Amino acid sequence: MQLSFIAAAATIIATTFALVVPATAADRIVSLVPSVTETLFALGAGDEVVGVSSFDTYPPEVAKLPKVGSFLTPNVEAIAALRPTLVVGLGISSNQREIRALRLMGYQTMMTEDDSLGQIEQSIRLIGSRVSKENAAADIIRDIEAKADAVRRRLHDAPTRRVLMLVGHQPIVAVGRGTFLDDLLKIARAENIADASSQQWPRLSVEFIISMRPEVILDGQMGSDPSSPGFFWSAYPTIPAVTMHRVSGYPDDPTLHPGPRVGKTLELLARLIHPEAWREERDRVESSR
- Cα–Cα dist 81/18, whole Å: 10
- Cα–Cα dist 69/56, whole Å: 10
- Cα–Cα dist 195/212, whole Å: 11
Residue 159 has pLDDT above 90, yes or no: yes
pLDDT of 170 reads: 86
- Characterize 15-40 residue by residue with b for buried, 16 or more Cβ atoms within 10 angstroms of its Cβ, and e for exposed: eebeeeeeeeeebbbbbbbbbbbbbb
- Cα–Cα dist 278/276, whole Å: 5
Question: Which range, of 149-158, 193-202, 229-238, 280-289, averages the lowest pLDDT?
Answer: 280-289
pLDDT of 168 reads: 87
- Cα–Cα dist 176/194, whole Å: 5
Residue 112 has pLDDT above 60, yes or no: yes
What is this structure's pTM?
0.85
269 forms beta bridges with none
Residue 48 has pLDDT above 50, yes or no: yes
Q: In one letter, which amino acid is 250? A: Y
- Cα–Cα dist 151/265, whole Å: 11
pLDDT of 119 reads: 97
Average pLDDT over residues 127-142: 97
Residue 182: name the closest of 162, 165, 160, 203 by CA.
Answer: 165
- Cα–Cα dist 163/37, whole Å: 30
Neighbouring C-beta atoms of residue 120, cutoff 10 Å: 25
pLDDT of 94 reads: 62
Q: Which helix (H) or strand (E) holds 192?
A: strand 190-192
Going by pLDDT thresholds of 50, 70 and 90, the confidence category of residue 3 is very low
pLDDT digits (tens, 9 = 90+) for 30-47: 999 999 999 999 999 999
Please say whether the beta carbons of 214 and 241 come within 8 A: yes
Question: Which range, of 17-21, 24-28, 211-215, averages the lowest pLDDT?
Answer: 17-21
Residue 16 has pLDDT above 80, yes or no: no
Which residues fall within 8 angstroms of residue 51, CB to CB, at 6 or more apart? Answer: 29, 30, 31, 65, 66, 67, 68, 78, 79, 82, 84
- Cα–Cα dist 277/223, whole Å: 23
pLDDT digits (tens, 9 = 90+) for 76-92: 999 999 999 999 999 88
pLDDT digits (tens, 9 = 90+) for 238-265: 999 999 999 999 999 999 999 999 999 9
Going by pLDDT thresholds of 50, 70 and 90, the confidence category of residue 221 is confident
